Amino acid sequence: MLYPLAIGLQSRELQPIFLTGVLKMMAMLVALGLIALTALLVLVVGGAIVACSARGRMLMGLELLSYSIGFGILGLAILGVGVVSVSLDYQTNAWVLLSIGLLLSCVQWYRTNIFSRMFGSKAGTLATDARIAILGWLLMASIPMLITFLPVKMPSDLPDGAYVIKNDHLHVRVQVMMGAMPADNFIPFAATEYLLRDISFAEERPLMPGQELANRPILMSLAAVPLRAAMGPPQKVVGPLPTFRYVGKQWPDVGSFGDDRSYRRFLAVALVLNASLFVGAALLFQYFRLRRGYWVAGLLVFGSSPYFIGQTLFAWPKSLAAFFLLLSAFTLLARDRTWVAGLLAALAYWSHPYAVVFIGAFALYLLIRERNDQNPRRGLLPFAIVATGGPVVWWAWAYWYLQLPSDLVEQNLSVSAGLASHAATRFINLLNAIAPISFHSLPSVVDLVQASLLGIVGAVGLLLLPQAAFASVQCIRQHSKEFVLLLALPSALLIGVFSVLTIPAVHGLHAVSVALLMLSLRWMQQRNLTSLMLACVTGQLVINIALLLHRGHALLFG
């Protein structure tokens, strides 16, 4: 008599656990579905935009895929502007604009055979690279999303500085996953919420404590608006926002927007946009003629890198900016129309302002390369006009129209220190860019894992970094203006601009890290060191996976 009763009680106890598991699985599937939907929208809209030009209708394979993603992100951002610019219900606006945009895009895909030129018979052998790249793009967005479902063990104390918002919501858990990174992953989400809730940027400021909207452009936020609005936007805010107390002051309570459901919807878009760097890396590897084995090896290292996975997961748009910078550099190297390269560089700036350093370096490269070229389409002027137009439009809106201040420069500069202190700071920052580890004592495994998340050593790989250094020295000896102006100069400027201690690799060296990985593989390919490449790549994959597993174990069990 007691046995059936015990079984019944046990089954009742297991029912909530089973239901929780089912609900979690459904949430995962919905999140992955949002990623697939976002990627599809980006690709369909972008492919149609690219096909509007005669040059775009000639593109094939991976090159067509890359430009389609780039212009698709621009297309979504333009739709986002349209959604919040018409004084109607934002959900209705989103459905109307998305429906019209998709209808026109599908007609354009059919008329110009985009699918066949990207993945099908018209692309020929180029189709394989495009198929691998789009699969990697989707995986690069999906894996970080799945990571967010881990039951992270939260620390007992969330200190000021990194943790402006102190709760157990998803965006805070992502900060914990990244090792107490600052709350910059919340800034693009907050900007999206301001747009959807009809909150005045000028009246409810700063966007977050110590972070004015004018510090960072909002391309990612605009691109997230159409889908967020179509799925049911939040209610518009009437009256002033409530405030919360932080470091002895009252601030607009933007943390109240950050429920897990809303943030995950935004994160799905952010992951797709940040993961586009994978496609940019594939295009760069292809341009420098890495053979298939080396090309695939590079993508495997990229896709397993703790650095690139972390920078994709953390929803600040620095990987997105790097994608646009790689696409802009590719356009310059391919000697295509320089105004297109300028537009892509401007989009990089609208993703994150660190791109202004690369815009200057790219302009100098064009000035030197084309000084005797009479073809105006390949000259500096078209690039300069379009590339500087992006920052000018942002400054006009943020500084002149909204009259918002910006303290981004002041946050990273210290004018009171002496010359020796400035030199020491920049030397330490150079070391931090490679591997942010203190060598005052023997580094622990935790230190090594954190360094792999934040340093070039985690992006390129410990076993591939020496080859990248050898290749860099070779480029300098060969007086390669491409290496010096497109890679070394912006790297030096990004490291040198900070007069406070920081970790430059997460402040703009994403594209540089991709280029170093390419140089490492090309150096071995030029010397036919296939066995060395296989050994190094295999070893690096093992290291990357081990570091990720160690991080996961620490997050789950403390």
Task: State how far the Cα of 100 lies from the Cα of 103, in Å rounded to an integer.
Answer: 5
* Pair (346, 484) in one structural domain: no
Position 66 pLDDT exceeds 80: yes
Give the pLDDT confidence score for residue 9 in this predicted structure: 42
Out of 315, 344, 368, a domain closes at 315
**Does 4 fall in a domain?**
no
Q: Are 152 and 146 in contact, with CB atoms under 8 Å apart?
A: no
Q: Are 278 and 140 in contact, with CB atoms under 8 Å apart?
A: yes
> Phi, psi at residue 316, to the nearest 5°?
-90, 150
Task: State how far the Cα of 29 lies from the Cα of 23, in Å rounded to an integer.
Answer: 10
Task: State how far the Cα of 352 lies from the Cα of 188, in Å rounded to an integer.
Answer: 11
- Cα separation of the two ends of the chain: 44
Give the pLDDT confidence score for residue 119 in this predicted structure: 97
What's the pLDDT band for 505 if we cut at 50, 70, 90? confident
Note down the domain range covering 270: 18-315
Out of 291, 315, 339, a domain closes at 315
Q: pLDDT above 70 covers what percent of the chain?
A: 92
User: Residue 326 corresponds to which amino acid?
Assistant: L
The 8-class DSSP code of residue 245 comes to E
H or E stretch covering 243: strand 243-246
* Pair (439, 508) in one structural domain: yes
Task: State how far the Cα of 439 lies from the Cα of 255, in Å rounded to an integer.
Answer: 37
**Does 13 fall in a domain?**
no
* Pair (58, 193) in one structural domain: yes
* Pair (523, 511) in one structural domain: yes
In the predicted model, what is the mean pLDDT of residues 273-278?
98
- Helix, strand, or coil here: 124? coil
Q: Are 505 and 455 in contact, with CB atoms under 8 Å apart?
A: yes
User: What angle (nearest 5°) sits at the alpha carbon of residue 536, between those of residues 279 and 451?
Assistant: 70
Give the pLDDT confidence score for residue 439 in this predicted structure: 63
Residue listed under structure tokens 């390669």: 480
**Does 308 fall in a domain?**
yes
Residues near 376 by beta carbon (within 8 Å), at least 6 away in sequence: 382
Position 12 pLDDT exceeds 70: no
- Scored b (16 or more CB within 10 A) or e, 535-557 reads ebbeebbebbeebbebbeebbee
Mean pLDDT check: name the lowest of 121-125, 220-224, 264-268.
121-125
DSSP per residue, 354-381: THHHHHHHHHHHHHHHTTT---GGGSHH
- Helix, strand, or coil here: 240? coil
Residue 107: Cβ-neighbour burial (10 angstroms; 0-12, 13-18, 19+):
exposed
**Does 8 fall in a domain?**
no
In the predicted model, what is the mean pLDDT of residues 235-264?
92
Residues near 496 by beta carbon (within 8 Å), at least 6 away in sequence: 426
What's the pLDDT band for 412 if we cut at 50, 70, 90? low
* Pair (65, 191) in one structural domain: yes
**Does 118 fall in a domain?**
yes
**Does 10 fall in a domain?**
no
The 8-class DSSP code of residue 86 comes to S
Residues near 281 by beta carbon (within 8 Å), at least 6 away in sequence: 298, 299, 302, 326, 514, 517, 518
**Does 7 fall in a domain?**
no
Helix 306-313 with 445-454: angle, nearest 10 deg: 60
Task: State how far the Cα of 206 lies from the Cα of 191, in Å rounded to an integer.
Answer: 11
* Pair (190, 268) in one structural domain: yes
* Pair (324, 285) in one structural domain: no
- pTM tops 0.85: yes
Give the chain's domain count.
Answer: 3
- Helix, strand, or coil here: 328? helix
Residue listed under structure tokens 């019209």: 100
H or E stretch covering 234: none
Q: Are 404 and 212 in contact, with CB atoms under 8 Å apart?
A: yes
Give the pLDDT confidence score for residue 83 in this predicted structure: 97
- Higher-pLDDT residue of 19 and 147 is 147
Bin 528: left if φ > 0, else alpha if -120 < ψ < 50, else beta. left
| Residue in 330, 299, 305 with CA at minimum distance from that of residue 128 | 299
* Pair (397, 421) in one structural domain: no
Give the pLDDT confidence score for residue 430 in this predicted structure: 86
Mean pLDDT for the chain? Answer: 91
Task: State how far the Cα of 517 lies from the Cα of 464, in Å rounded to an integer.
Answer: 7
Q: pLDDT above 90 covers what percent of the chain?
A: 77
Task: State how far the Cα of 277 lies from the Cα of 281, in Å rounded to an integer.
Answer: 6
Out of 405, 437, 453, a domain closes at 405
* Pair (47, 183) in one structural domain: yes
* Pair (215, 347) in one structural domain: no
Position 292 pLDDT exceeds 90: yes
Q: What is the four-CA torsion angle of 182, 249, 220, 29, rounded to 10 degrees? A: 70
Give the pLDDT confidence score for residue 5 in this predicted structure: 46
Give the pLDDT confidence score for residue 8 in this predicted structure: 52
Mean pLDDT check: name the lowest of 25-34, 270-279, 393-402, 488-497.
488-497
In the predicted model, what is the mean pLDDT of residues 432-450?
81
Residue 16: Cβ-neighbour burial (10 angstroms; 0-12, 13-18, 19+):
exposed
Q: What is the four-CA torsion angle of 542, 543, 545, 546, rounded to 10 degrees? A: 110
**Does 545 fall in a domain?**
yes
| Residue in 252, 132, 106 with CA at minimum distance from that of residue 190 | 252
What's the pLDDT band for 238 if we cut at 50, 70, 90? confident
* Pair (31, 166) in one structural domain: yes
* Pair (247, 375) in one structural domain: no
